[in-house]
Amino acid sequence: MLNRIIVAILAAFLSTSAMAADDATAPKPAVCTKDGAPVADDYLKAAHDVMTLSKAADRMTLIIDAMMPAMIDMMRKSAPSMSDSVLSAFKDALREELQKSLPGLIDVESCVYVQHFSIDELHQLATFYQAPLGQKLLAESTGIAKESMAIGMAWGERSGRAAMERALERVKKTGDKT
């Protein structure tokens, strides 16, 4: 069940990414605006710099790689006659396509950062990511993410089982047989 949730999250990520990045280089938003006014190029560049310095593309790649096995497993279950070579080719093509479109996605998502941070805050974030502590955070974040993912999956499985038990108990009490 958790795998289906993970696949659903990946599908949502992929569908929103596909809308934002439907070709090799996603178009920048027609005009990035904040509070109804167009955002200056230096403001948008500051947001893009933060995303680059924080290795946003690497984090997205990590998520893609973590979700890919569950997605392939779901495809295998939904189309059991699909050959391993077709699944492998799909996996490779999807990863290549996602990697190719990441720069465009970063461009589009830079506008999201503009919505949440002032230009001064973006400069401070850039300074942080260039400082020793920021570099350590980046170096450690892959390991942290892997450990957190394992913890989160175990937590999700336990919570899912407990919720299912509680739901079945409630259904039993009401006598619903559906």
111 and 44 Cβ atoms separated by less than 8 Å? yes
Residue identified by tokens 């503009």 is 114
What are the residues facing 38 on neighbouring strands?
A: 33
Tell me the pLDDT of the chain (178 aa) as tens digits: 434 444 444 454 445 444 444 444 444 555 798 998 999 999 999 999 999 999 998 888 888 887 888 888 888 888 889 888 988 898 888 888 888 988 888 888 999 999 999 999 999 999 999 999 999 999 998 888 888 888 988 898 899 989 999 999 999 888 776 6
- List the one residue out of 14, 9, 23 whose CA is nearest residue 103: 23
pTM: 0.64
What's the full length of the chain, in residues? 178
Sketch the domain layout of the chain as residue ranges: 2-129, 131-178
